[in-house]
Amino acid sequence: MFTTGEFSKIARVSRRLLRHYRDIGLFTPTHVDNQSGYHYYSIHQLPDLNRILALRDLGFTLEQIQRTVAEDVSPQELRGMLQMRKAEIERTLLEELQKIRTIESRLQLIEAGQPELEVILKSIPKQAYLSAQFICESAEDGLEHLSEMRRFLPKQIKSNKLGEMVTILHSDSFKTEDADVEMGFVLNQSKQLKPIDIDGLTYATRTLESVDTMATVVVNHSPDFWHLGTTAIGHWMEANNYTIAGPQREIWHTYPTDMTTAPMVELQIPVKPNPNSKTLELKS
């Protein structure tokens, strides 16, 4: 058996914590020497202590831990609880990392002013588009559907029939939650394909209408930096008296593995001359 100090070294917890748990009756020593007053712990008590510490890390209060220990939660139940807590922490860390990257991108824009990205005008022809439109709950939700689509569609359709991967943002404003999104592949043929169900979505062939004037810019950053591309297009539009003429498209040249990786994506915004530009100039 081990004294309180010795046991604290083995368990890698403070002597103070062991005394506190002892005083409230949560984790008590196996033996007390009546003459010396020393408290002794057994190595076989480590699983019980680890259970208590795991529950504490789950965010349980001491009262909840005492009740859970008294109910003798099984190792399988405890493992499930820990896995859920682990997933929550990982999700929080990812969200915080995205916030940091977004702050970095905003600071870059503040310091540099207008982004040094080349805006190129294109005329986009009518195309066959195999796609699914849905309400995207979050960026992570969108990435999950994107990954599933990329994984399964090529298995059901010959690869030479699939062209560029395209996502379209149909919402009337930018949204990070509950966005109206369409994603799919441009087809290298106009032939209608049978609908394909993947991950709860039905992919069907439709015609992607032509666009006479598409303002485009290529970004090679994680999505947190994509506003640099749309900002560059915005500068060009205002300088040349153009306005938005349709939903934004994203053409994927390389693909992300998670929300922090940097794919190469072409951002496309349909534009047209602004008929109110002279009115706006007179008012200003």
pLDDT of residue 110: 60
Confidence of residue 111 (pLDDT cuts 50, 70, 90): low
Question: Distance between CA 268 and CA 26 in Å, rounded?
Answer: 62
pLDDT of residue 279 exceeding 60, the answer is no
pLDDT of residue 115: 64
User: For 152-195, how does the pLDDT look when each residue is reduced to its tens digit (9 = 90+)?
Assistant: 988 888 767 899 999 999 999 888 889 999 999 999 887 788 99
Between 284 and 76, the higher pLDDT residue: 76
User: For 40-60, how does the pLDDT look when each residue is reduced to its tens digit (9 = 90+)?
Assistant: 999 999 988 988 888 888 788
Confidence of residue 15 (pLDDT cuts 50, 70, 90): very high
Question: Distance between CA 273 and CA 245 in Å, rounded?
Answer: 9
Q: What is the DSSP code (8-state) at residue 189? A: S
* CA distance readout (Å), 52 to 77, 82, 126, 211: 14, 12, 63, 63
Q: Which residues contact 78 (CB under 8 A, 6 or more apart)?
A: 51, 54, 55
Burial state string for 29-65 with b = 16 or more CB within 10 A and e = fewer than 16: beeeeeeeeebebeeebeeebebbbbbeebebeeeeb
- Give the angle 96-230-92 at the CA atoms, nearest 5°: 10
Other CB atoms within 10 Å distance of the CB of residue 86: 12
Q: Is 185 helix (H, G, I), strand (E, B) or coil?
A: strand
